[in-house]
């Protein structure tokens, strides 16, 4: 349940209609083929869905965090890959705002408003949860930086118009030697590597991004040298609650599919929804989903109010990711053999749900964040 | 180019609607939307405007809630909207509707300070499906009318339109001002952008009353009396032919068709 004003309700109705007509059914085919849904994404870009988090001062619509959460849930309900593409595109703007680079943020915002995409390149083959172990290096050469290295599992890697890239400017300083850079598509030395053949969110694009003697101007540095890790962590902190909402969208779709099925599937002379065994499963699915939704919204509201939100964002992302998988398993159980069949939509929901326990910080990392916040240093 | 698009708010046509206990359509709780054919008309008008410049005004007759349909039009091409709203205008037939619309056209022209070059209507509404309002409006305005068009362009100071008929297509050229009624074109109406949706909410919608239009009461009373409404008969189950072999099934099917004197 969201508390929305009339304007937000209007936007939600528009996004809901778009998702129902242009995303939900179309994504079935792209889930099988793994191909890029070009037409669907072009239409979404025209509508401005790539830019729903862009603040008003950068020419965006400047809606509240609760409002864009409602829009994101609708996208995730229709297809979690679609949600992921949109949410990560918006995420890529955050490091520029956090790093105080209004000029670059404006460039990136213009790209998103024009229907373009952003990518956030932090993860490397040996630097996932251990993000500080970045091996990509950036060496200052006059008024340029030269980057070499390889990023992996980069959402929007093959389609992005701009990239936020972390690289080590001083390895001897550990995480304090990491810096963040703004890189535009087409920069010589930048190339797209292997595209992942994923279990779920198959309508999103995930690739390696490779830098070979890639030269970028010194002005592409976001903040100061050594700020990269801090900027990346703050970005993820902010984005986590949105990922919680994505997981909630998948869980809500599971409930919708399970409820519809349990009302029409007859066994022992009555719809299975008449059996308490099913009713209680539905109730438990709802308890988990609504709790995850409210936790995510609470974390976003804290952000909106300028209050500390790190722990709450981690709780939201972790809990929502975990329950999305549980709820998807329950939905499959309610649909029985049909739930296990690819003819029905719920097996895809389980494949989609699983990513929410992994990306944007694994749920193990979230638990580390939460326990540190609770226990402090001792 | 000054364009007017007439829009009616109707129950969502994707919802199956039956009759309630008193024999009226059971539309309580059904979402009200802009008539689908009117949205095609607006999209066509918007494309014409984008290719040739101009402004689009939308008008609806209905209760205060009908402003929602007008707001959705303001997000996808229209820049001005008027609602004709008053008691006694609720259950008009097509003749009365065209009378009120014709009066509204003059009033809006006066308010806008410009005459309309073109009036677009949907070819019919999805609730009443009479298809008569457009031609009746043209008659009252004393201008030409082309119905069921699927494409339009400007030509020699007038318009050239592609009209869809049961046999095929006609290309019709006519002078403007004119009224056109629009069928489903090859394209779909555009989605509003997040920005246009928010901007549309800020555009004021002026309400025009019956008194503003100087309506004569007897002309808004329906000339058509609805005596009863009934749901369409349920589709009869078909005959299943499933013989042992495919050849036998085909032979049996041919036999059945022959008996039914299909050929």
pLDDT tens digits, B64-111: 999 999 999 999 999 999 999 998 888 899 999 999 999 999 999 999
A94, A132: one domain: no
Asked if residue B253 lies in contact with residue B242, where contact means CB atoms within 8 angstroms, the answer is no
**Domain C-terminal end among A113, A148, A163:** A113
A75, A126: one domain: no
A159, A132: one domain: yes
Nearest CB partner across the interface for B194, out of A6, A17, A48: A48
- Selection from B101, B26, B94 nearest residue B61 by Cα: B101
Using the predicted structure, report yes or no on whether residue B239 has a pLDDT greater than 90. Answer: no
Question: Within an 8 Å CB–CB cutoff, is residue A29 touching chain B?
Answer: no
A108: which residues sit within 8 A by CB, 6+ positions away?
A92, A93, A96, A118, A162, A182
- How confident is the prediction along chain A (378 residues), in pLDDT tens digits per residue? 899 999 999 999 999 999 999 999 999 999 999 999 999 999 999 999 999 999 999 999 999 999 999 999 999 999 999 999 999 999 999 999 999 999 999 999 999 999 999 999 999 998 888 888 889 999 999 999 999 999 999 999 999 999 999 999 999 999 999 999 999 999 999 999 999 999 999 999 999 999 999 999 999 999 999 999 999 999 999 999 999 999 999 999 999 999 999 999 999 999 999 999 999 999 999 999 999 999 999 999 999 999 999 999 999 999 999 999 999 999 999 999 999 999 999 999 999 999 999 999 999 999 999 999 999 988
A133, A204: one domain: yes
Residues in chain A closer than 8 A to B194 (CB atoms): 11, 14, 47-49, 51-52, 61, 63
Report how far residue A107's alpha carbon sits from residue A104's, in angstroms, rounded to the nearest whole number: 5
A27, A126: one domain: no
Do the domain assignments include residue A324?
yes
A369, A343: one domain: yes
Nearest CB partner across the interface for B194, out of A6, A11, A17: A11
Q: Which two tokens stand for residue B229?
A: 């409404």
Report the DSSP beta bridge partners of residue B57: B4, B80
Q: In this complex, do B197 and A52 lie within 8 Å of one another by their Cβ atoms?
A: no
pTM confidence score: 0.89
Do the domain assignments include residue A89?
yes
CA-based nearest distance A258→chain B, Å: 22
A243, A365: one domain: yes
> CA of A193: how far to CAs of A32, A158, A165, A196, A205, in Å?
22, 8, 15, 9, 12
Residues in chain B closer than 8 A to A48 (CB atoms): 193-195
Tell me, letter by letter, the H, E, C secondary structure of A279-303: HHHHHHHHHHHHHHHHHHHHHHHHH
| CATH at A64 | 1.10.540.10
CA dihedral A80, A81, A84, A86 (to 10 degrees): -110
Check residue A269 and give its pLDDT: 96
Question: Within an 8 Å CB–CB cutoff, is residue A43 touching chain B?
Answer: yes
Total domain count, chain A: 3
DSSP one-letter code for A22: I
CA-based nearest distance A48→chain B, Å: 6
| CATH at A173 | 2.40.110.10
Question: Within an 8 Å CB–CB cutoff, is residue A47 touching chain B?
Answer: yes
**Domain C-terminal end among A228, A262, A291:** A228
- Selection from A150, A155, A190 nearest residue A166 by Cα: A150
Asked if residue A145 lies in contact with residue A214, where contact means CB atoms within 8 angstroms, the answer is no
Nearest CB partner across the interface for B191, out of A6, A18, A61: A18
pLDDT band at B251 (very low <50, low <70, confident <90, very high): very high
A186, A212: one domain: yes
Check residue A321 and give its pLDDT: 98
Domain that holds residue A213: 118-228
Do the domain assignments include residue A313?
yes
Q: Which two tokens stand for residue B224?
A: 């058509």
Do the domain assignments include residue A245?
yes
A83, A133: one domain: no
Report how far residue B12's alpha carbon sits from residue B180's, in angstroms, rounded to the nearest whole number: 24
Q: What is the DSSP string of B96-148?
A: HHHHHHHHHHHHHHHHHTS--SEEEEESS-TTT----HHHHHHHHHT-EEEEE
Catalytic residues of A: 360
- Selection from A276, A282, A234 nearest residue A256 by Cα: A282
Q: Which residue of B has its CA nearest to A47?
A: B193
How large is the average pLDDT for residues B15-26?
A: 90
DSSP β-ladder status, A137-141 and A144-155 = antiparallel
DSSP β-ladder status, A178-184 and A162-168 = antiparallel
* Domain B2-220 in this protein, CATH class: alpha beta
Do the domain assignments include residue A149?
yes
Report how far residue A25's alpha carbon sits from residue A36's, in angstroms, rounded to the nearest whole number: 15
Do the domain assignments include residue A269?
yes
Asked if residue B7 lies in contact with residue B38, where contact means CB atoms within 8 angstroms, the answer is yes
| CATH at A292 | 1.20.140.10
Do the domain assignments include residue A94?
yes
A128, A261: one domain: no
Question: Within an 8 Å CB–CB cutoff, is residue A46 touching chain B?
Answer: yes
- Selection from A247, A53, A205, A31 nearest residue A119 by Cα: A205
Every domain range in chain B assigned CATH 3.40.50.620: 2-220
Check residue B206 and give its pLDDT: 95
Do the domain assignments include residue A1?
no
């Amino acid at each position: 349940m969201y508390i929305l004003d009339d304007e937000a309700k209007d936007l939600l109705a528009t996004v809901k209609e778009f998702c129902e007509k242009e995303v939900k059914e179309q994504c079935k085919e792209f889930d099988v083929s793994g191909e890029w849904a070009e037409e669907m994404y072009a239409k979404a870009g025209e509508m401005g869905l790539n830019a729903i988090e862009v603040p008003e001062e950068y020419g965006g619509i400047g809606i509240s965090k609760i409002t864009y959460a409602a829009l994101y849930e609708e996208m995730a309900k229709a297809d979690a890959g679609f949600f992921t593409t949109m949410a990560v595109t918006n995420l890529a703007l955050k490091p520029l705002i956090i790093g105080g680079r209004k000029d670059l943020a404006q460039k990136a915002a213009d790209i998103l408003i024009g229907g373009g995409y952003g990518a956030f390149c932090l993860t490397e083959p040996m630097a996932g949860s251990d993000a500080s172990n970045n091996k990509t290096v950036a060496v200052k050469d006059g008024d340029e930086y030269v980057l070499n290295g390889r990023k992996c599992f980069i959402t929007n890697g093959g389609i992005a118009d701009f990239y936020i890239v972390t690289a080590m400017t001083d390895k001897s300083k550990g995480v304090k030697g990491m810096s963040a850079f703004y890189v535009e598509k087409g920069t010589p030395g930048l190339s797209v590597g292997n595209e992942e053949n994923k279990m779920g969110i198959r309508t999103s694009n995930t690739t390696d991004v490779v830098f070979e003697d890639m030269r970028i101007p010194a002005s592409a540095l976001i903040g100061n040298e050594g700020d990269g890790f801090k900027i990346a962590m703050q970005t993820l902190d902010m984005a986590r609650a949105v990922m919680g909402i994505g997981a909630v969208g998948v869980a809500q779709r599971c409930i919708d599919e399970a409820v519809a099925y349990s009302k029409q599937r007859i066994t022992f002379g009555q719809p299975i929804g008449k059996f308490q065994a099913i009713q209680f499963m539905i109730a438990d699915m709802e308890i988990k989903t609504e709790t995850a939704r409210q936790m995510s919204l609470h974390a976003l509201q804290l952000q909106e109010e300028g209050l500390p939100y790190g722990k709450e964002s981690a709780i939201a992302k972790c809990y929502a990711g975990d329950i999305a998988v549980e709820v998807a398993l329950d939905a499959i159980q309610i649909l029985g053999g049909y739930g296990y069949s690819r003819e029905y939509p719920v097996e895809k929901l389980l494949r989609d749900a699983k990513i929410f326990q992994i990306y944007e910080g694994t749920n193990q990392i979230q638990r580390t964040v939460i326990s540190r916040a609770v226990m402090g240093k001792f | 180019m000054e364009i007017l698009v007439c829009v009616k708010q109707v129950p969502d046509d994707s919802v199956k609607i039956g009759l309630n206990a008193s024999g009226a359509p059971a539309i309580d709780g059904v979402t009200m939307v802009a008539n689908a054919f009117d949205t095609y008309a607006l999209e066509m008008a918007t494309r014409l405007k984008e290719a040739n410049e101009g402004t689009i005004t939308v008008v609806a007759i209905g209760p205060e809630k009908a402003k929602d349909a007008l707001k959705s039009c303001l997000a996808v091409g229209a820049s001005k909207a008027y609602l004709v709203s008053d008691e006694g205008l609720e259950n008009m037939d097509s003749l009365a509707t065209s009378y009120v619309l014709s009066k509204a056209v003059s009033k809006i022209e006066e308010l806008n300070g410009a005459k309309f070059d073109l009036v677009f209507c949907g070819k019919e509404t999805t609730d009443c499906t009479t298809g008569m309002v457009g031609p009746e409006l043209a008659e009252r305005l004393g201008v030409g009318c082309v119905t069921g068009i699927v494409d339009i362009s400007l030509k020699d100071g007038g318009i050239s339109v592609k009209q869809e008929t049961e046999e095929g297509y006609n290309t019709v050229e006519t002078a403007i001002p004119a009224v056109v009624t629009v069928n489903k074109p090859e394209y779909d109406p555009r989605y509003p952008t997040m920005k246009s949706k928010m901007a549309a909410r800020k555009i004021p919608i002026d309400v025009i009353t019956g008194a503003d239009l100087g309506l004569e009461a007897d002309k808004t009373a329906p000339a058509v009396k609805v005596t009863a409404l009934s749901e369409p008969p349920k589709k009869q189950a078909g005959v299943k032919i499933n013989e042992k072999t495919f050849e036998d099934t085909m032979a049996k099917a041919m036999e059945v068709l022959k008996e039914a004197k299909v050929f």
